[in-house]
């Protein structure tokens, strides 16, 4: 069986978006203002980051090459749009942290959070509701 046939067989994993700290900041502005120019991003980040326009533009061009952003050109204007959603970015960040700190396993991470970080009564109640809701959704999917 060839490599291309193996890739088609079974579930295909989506590429995980692993953003750097700077890329997270840029993506935050892009998600909020898209489509937007690099100058718009630089201005939005001026209060928190003292980045020159060239720094922002170069970083955004690299993000295009990585597949995080796309460019739409209108004459001399370049407008950037996101190619990944916030959910995809968060999923990548979570997977990276899980892999580094907990060998990729979710249960040890949750146990650690409960034992060492603690939960407020409100957070514990929300977590219980989420677990109940997830159980019901899984049961309903099986019944279909």
The pLDDT value recorded for residue 143 is 62
User: Cα torsion for 75, 83, 49, 19, to the nearest 10°?
Assistant: -150
The pLDDT value recorded for residue 6 is 40
pTM exceeds cut of 0.85: no
Buried b / exposed e across 76-106, counting CB within 10 Å, b at 16+? eebebebebeeebbeebeeeeeeeeeeeeee
The pLDDT value recorded for residue 15 is 53
What residue ranges of the chain have pLDDT lower than 70? 1-16, 141-144
């Amino acid at each position: 069986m060839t490599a291309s046939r193996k890739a088609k067989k079974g579930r295909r994993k989506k590429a995980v978006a692993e953003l750097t700290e700077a890329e997270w900041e840029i993506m935050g502005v892009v998600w909020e203002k898209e489509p937007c120019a690099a100058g718009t991003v630089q201005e939005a980040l001026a209060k928190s980051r003292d980045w020159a326009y060239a720094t922002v533009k170069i970083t955004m061009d690299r993000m295009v090459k990585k597949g995080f952003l796309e460019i739409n050109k209108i004459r001399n204007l370049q407008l950037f749009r996101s190619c990944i959603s916030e959910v995809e970015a968060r999923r990548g960040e979570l997977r990276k942290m899980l892999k580094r700190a907990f060998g990729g396993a979710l249960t040890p991470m949750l146990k650690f959070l409960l034992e060492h970080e603690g939960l407020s009564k409100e957070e514990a109640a929300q977590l219980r509701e989420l677990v109940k809701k997830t159980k019901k959704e899984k049961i309903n999917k099986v019944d279909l």
